[in-house]
Structure 1
Amino acid sequence: MMGDSKERRVRWKGRHACETALSDPMSAIYSAIKAWTPPSGMFADSAVLLQVNSEQAQLLNRACFGRPYPPAIAPPPPSAPTYPPPIPGFDDSDSKEGLQFFQLALEEAFYLNYEMKCVRIYHQSHKEERVLLSHDELWRLMLKKKQHFVQHYKAYSHMRSKRWVVLSGIQFGADFMAYRHHPALVHSDYAVLVMLGEERQSRLNTWTELHAMGRLCGSVAKTLLLIYVKRKDAAVDSTFPSCLEDFDLETVEVNRWLPEKNREAGETLEENSELG
């Protein structure tokens, strides 16, 4: 999945970033999140607002799930990155019992609720009462809020299960960006596009589009990763999250072909060229 970490050069941020990442692995952070007392969240439009204490907020920040809400104006970046990055916009003294809010994207919220089973999510009923959502009810709400949510969540959960940090890729024209660890420590490796398998694609239909996306990724030192999510059966019922097992996933890295890196050792291009 997504390349061999031994072959791909990791672009760390700062002299001690690698040491920090090794001392605080994602698997340990995930274990701490699973062990906490599940906080409560409220489904709101196209996101979930999760109410957490300061310790839970730090864990979410270290694992890169969601972002503080409301967002604060970020201070000027320091000369060297710090870790864990401070959570802006909140002060425990300004909130009751140190409670804070985190805004989760749909994929993030469902992953924490369904895969990690570490958050409870409610919805406001017509009688203005909070109703605790089951996995199935939450799934159906998200299907209504985001087109192709099934395919996007399948790709997101696959990358998260491999302990990649997955963030929005909108600034690069992608669906997601994939990092080996916290973005304060490392640059992202992949710009990810979720492809709809056998369904009609709305992008990369022409060589021009593919070339443009490849050039964009090359200019910012990212690798374009296409994740194809395909139905095993045309009659898949997607109204339940159990349908995720009925989708296959295939990853394809899109790289430039460099002839000089594919020659026999000791030969130059001129010595073995038939083009004159």
Structure 2
Amino acid sequence: MSLIKPSGRKGPVSGKAAGRRNNNNQIYAHPLPIIFWYPPSTRIRSVLGLLGLTLTRVEVPQCQGVFDEATRSVWVSSRSDSNILWRRGFFGKGDLSRSEPSWLARQINARRTGGNRLTSEEMTAKRRAERKQFKIDRARAIAAVAAEAEALFETEGRVTVPALSGPAIPSAATWKPAAPEDPPETPVTPQEETPPEEEEPQEDLEHLQLTLPEAFFLLWNLDCLAVEDPLTNELMSIQQIWIAFQAAHLNPPLFVSPRPTPALQFDNPFIINYIVYHHYRSLGWVVRGGIKFCVDYMLYKRGPVFNHAEFSVVVCPVYEDPADQEVSTVDLHHASPFSWAWLSTINRVNTQVYKTLILAYVTIPARSRVSVDVLQSPACLQHYSIREVTVRRFIPARMRD
């Protein structure tokens, strides 16, 4: 059982933000792809409850993806399946987007004139452009004040210190972006008028890309994903998927059928990362990649559209028998002890963005105690263990109490 708990930190919510949040509560109402439909409260339901029965219906979607060994991922090309997996648990990432598969929406917005509904990528680009323009305007205002001070010194001999704030210097609270200028309208003669052409439907070129831990969690725990072999175009069994996902981290991509079975190892990176992913997903956290903050995973209370991640996780494998690490052919990330300088750097990066760093230690069973044959099925996960260590950076200004 995990000891971490969300801080519950909430900021002020404006009217416009509250409207978007209510809309998100409807779109992302389900935390997982499976849905439980509860019948209305009736006398029959009460009687069945006393007998240990229920009328609750479980809806399990059947999504389908294709295993891509080269990218170590599963591709979901169906638009409806992509929406289900993203809106019900934030699984996967659009290959042409930052996170949510919104490439098609961006293309439609670009083709339409006067479209005012921006996607997340477009809103981010707009904020960055406004922030860049604010810095330029502020630098110009400071340079003008400095030039005015120099002019006073040359003409009157007075020495004045240029002010870095004031009515002439824009600040983040007072600066507003300039309204775009409308281009001059050119009169159109009747001879130049042409009938409007019908727009061709935009083809969706984006697919949802699932990591191997995400894909296996969906197909093994929730039974809502089927994985297809791209070489045979046939659905793979759970055992075939389990071995193929391990082989993707051991051998270079072999585009032959059937694929040769590699020598399986307990320190396979897929197994180590899946254990941590499964651990936090089972506790109700939304787990996303954390490469942006130099960590392995980020933990969200509800999802990235509701709030920022509260915890960042670094996966730290630990060998039960140190001799297994010496004979291993896998260069496992963070298997060797890391330096205090590295730990201090990662902790400082995450502390500055108000995230708590967690070191998730995964104990790898010893070959002398457990046979390698257990790696043929997911039942081998019972031989692994995980423990958490929370790392906090001491900040005197915040921790006086």
Q: CA RMSD in A?
A: 3.3
2:66 is matched with 42
Letter in structure 1 aligned against 2:67: F
- Residues 147-182 of structure 1 deviation map (CA, whole Å, 9 limit, x = unaligned): 511110000011111221111111111111111112
For residue 132 of structure 1, report the CA deviation from its aligned partner. 1.4
Letter in structure 1 aligned against 2:241: L
- Does structure 1 residue 188 correspond to structure 2 residue 309? yes
- Does structure 1 residue 240 correspond to structure 2 residue 377? yes
- Residues 161-204 of structure 1 deviation map (CA, whole Å, 9 limit, x = unaligned): 12211111111111111111121210011111111023664465
- Residues 117-155 of structure 1 deviation map (CA, whole Å, 9 limit, x = unaligned): 101101123xxx312111111111111223511110000
2:122 is matched with 75
The answer on whether the counterparts of 2:73 and 2:211 sit within 8 Å (CA) in structure 1 is yes
TM-score w.r.t. the length of structure 1 is 0.74
Task: Give structure 1 stretches of 5+ with no counterpart.
Answer: 81-92, 264-276
Alpha-carbon spacing, 1:212–1:37, altered in 2? closer, same or farther (3 Å): closer
1:220 is matched with 353
Letter in structure 2 aligned against 1:4: K
2:77 is matched with 51
Q: Percent identity?
A: 23
The answer on whether the counterparts of 1:13 and 1:184 sit within 8 Å (CA) in structure 2 is no
Q: Structure 2 matches for 1:250-269, cutoff 5 A?
A: 250-257=387-394, 261=399
Larger Rg: 2
Task: Give structure 2 stretches of 5+ with no counterpart.
Answer: 37-57, 98-102, 107-120, 128-200, 250-267, 326-333
The answer on whether the counterparts of 1:174 and 1:192 sit within 8 Å (CA) in structure 2 is yes
TM-score w.r.t. the length of structure 2 is 0.53
- Does structure 1 residue 143 correspond to structure 2 residue 246? yes
The separation in 1 between residues aligned to 2:343 and 2:223, in whole angstroms, is 38
For residue 238 of structure 1, report the CA deviation from its aligned partner. 2.6
2:222 is matched with 116
For residue 77 of structure 1, report the CA deviation from its aligned partner. 3.3
For residue 67 of structure 1, report the CA deviation from its aligned partner. 2.1
The answer on whether the counterparts of 1:11 and 1:186 sit within 8 Å (CA) in structure 2 is no
Letter in structure 2 aligned against 1:43: F
Letter in structure 1 aligned against 2:85: L
The separation in 2 between residues aligned to 1:171 and 1:240, in whole angstroms, is 33
Answer 1 or 2: which has greater strand percent: 1
2:362 is matched with 229
Q: Structure 2 matches for 1:59-98, cutoff 5 A?
A: 59-62=84-87, 63-71=89-97, 72=103, 74-77=121-124, 94=202
The separation in 1 between residues aligned to 2:302 and 2:350, in whole angstroms, is 19
The answer on whether the counterparts of 1:52 and 1:99 sit within 8 Å (CA) in structure 2 is no
The separation in 2 between residues aligned to 1:173 and 1:106, in whole angstroms, is 20
The separation in 2 between residues aligned to 1:219 and 1:204, in whole angstroms, is 24
2:300 is matched with 179
For residue 9 of structure 1, report the CA deviation from its aligned partner. 2.6
Letter in structure 1 aligned against 2:83: Q
Letter in structure 1 aligned against 2:225: V
Alpha-carbon spacing, 1:261–1:157, altered in 2? closer, same or farther (3 Å): same
Alignment length (residue pairs): 244
Query: Relative contact order (alpha carbons < 8 A, sep ≥ 6): 1 or 2 greater?
Result: 1
For residue 94 of structure 1, report the CA deviation from its aligned partner. 4.3
